Amino acid sequence: MKQYPTHLFWRPAILLSFLLFLQLPAHAATINLPTEQPVPGGIVIIPIIPADTDNARPTIHFQAHRVMVVKSSVPPAQWLAIVGIPRSAKTGAHSIKIQQGKQHRTQQFHVERKLYPEQRIQITNKRLVNPEKRDMNRITKESQIMKRAFTSWSESGSETLRMDWPVSGPISSPFGLTRFFNNQPRKPHSGIDIAAPKGSDIQAPRAGKVVATGNFFFNGNTVLVDHGQGLISLFCHLDRIETTNGAMLERGEKIGTVGQTGRATGPHLHWSLNLNNVRIDPMLFLDEPLNTAKP
């Protein structure tokens, strides 16, 4: 993976996260919500009105996918929708669908503009840029495995949504980059790349259930973990997988080691976060942004 000067990425991200944190309403800091950033690839936190928390948790959908809903822990008590915004979302008004008892309604939110920089990477193995016909069956099967994981739903989850870093190291590629492999346009970067030596331990950033593992064509050795309510972690390019499908992980439990498998030009961990079947910036969930400064 092409290395970029660390200061270009992690310091602005830390400053932005800190400033946004200061602007969050009291309920956000109290129940340890992710950092709100209503941009493509970001998160919006929507109070659901009326805030009748004596009733059952409302069911909310955005773009046909179910949305995470949590209860605020400070007055006025209310339900909060935690909505992942697609990287491809257009600036302007969007809406969620709310079902609360027999009531059905919609509620709007607005997405602000954000421009992402480009990243150009040279891959020696051309099959990893333009797969051959013999590769496509494998790629299709692996895509189906990931789709099932990303669209799964479980009611489990801890009180705090903040997460720990799965491995220590600088960010070599931030979320959302417009990507070119061998000067050919490809999908935007769907996670963050954390540079770390081969063999470094990778730990679960939050408790969850392993919903898929395997060696994938592009992603190399891969682990997917369901943290509850549509929040799914994807860990790629591992050297070794040290967990099993169906395993229940505690926060901080080892899941494998950093490697260079799949489409990777150097040892690193690619970590994607999925929320309501949308890939969002993992930086918004991190509990201690300054961990990025660790070697």
Which pair of structure tokens corresponds to residue 284? 């918004």
State which residues form the domain around 50: 6-111
Mean pLDDT estimate for the chain: 85
Number of domains in the chain: 2
97/78 Cα distance (integer angstroms): 17
220/216 Cα distance (integer angstroms): 5
71/91 Cα distance (integer angstroms): 28
- The answer on 191 and 76 residing in a single domain is no
- The answer on 30 and 103 residing in a single domain is yes
Summarised one tens digit per residue, pLDDT across range 21-79 is 344 444 444 458 899 999 999 999 999 876 555 667 899 999 999 999 998 876 677 89
Of 79, 111, 143, which closes a domain? 111
Domain CATH number, residue 45: 2.60.40.1590
Of 111, 130, 146, which closes a domain? 111
- The answer on 126 and 105 residing in a single domain is no
- The answer on 222 and 273 residing in a single domain is yes
Residue with tokens 């730990």: 203
**List of E strands, the chain:** 43-48, 59-62, 65-66, 68-71, 79-84, 92-100, 103-111, 118-121, 171-173, 178-181, 184-185, 192-195, 201-203, 208-216, 220-228, 231-241, 248-249, 254-258, 268-275, 278-280
238/202 Cα distance (integer angstroms): 9
Do 279 and 190 contact (CB within 8 A), yes or no? yes
Q: In this predicted model, which residue has the larger pLDDT, 100 or 216?
A: 216
The answer to the question of residue 1 being in a domain is no
Summarised one tens digit per residue, pLDDT across range 243-288 is 999 999 999 999 999 999 999 989 999 999 999 999 999 999 997 6
- The answer on 144 and 245 residing in a single domain is yes
Of 78, 111, 144, which closes a domain? 111
Check residue 7 and give its pLDDT. Answer: 36
The answer to the question of residue 235 being in a domain is yes
- The answer on 122 and 104 residing in a single domain is no
The answer to the question of residue 13 being in a domain is yes
pLDDT of 120 over the 90 cut: no
pLDDT of 14 over the 70 cut: no
Check residue 183 and give its pLDDT. Answer: 85
Query: Global pTM?
Result: 0.84
Phi, psi of 138 (to 5 degrees): -60, -45
Check residue 57 and give its pLDDT. Answer: 85
Check residue 155 and give its pLDDT. Answer: 87
- The answer on 148 and 253 residing in a single domain is yes
Q: Which percentage of the chain shows pLDDT scores above 90?
A: 65
- The answer on 274 and 174 residing in a single domain is yes
Domain CATH number, residue 241: 2.70.70.10
- The answer on 284 and 236 residing in a single domain is yes
- The answer on 134 and 245 residing in a single domain is yes
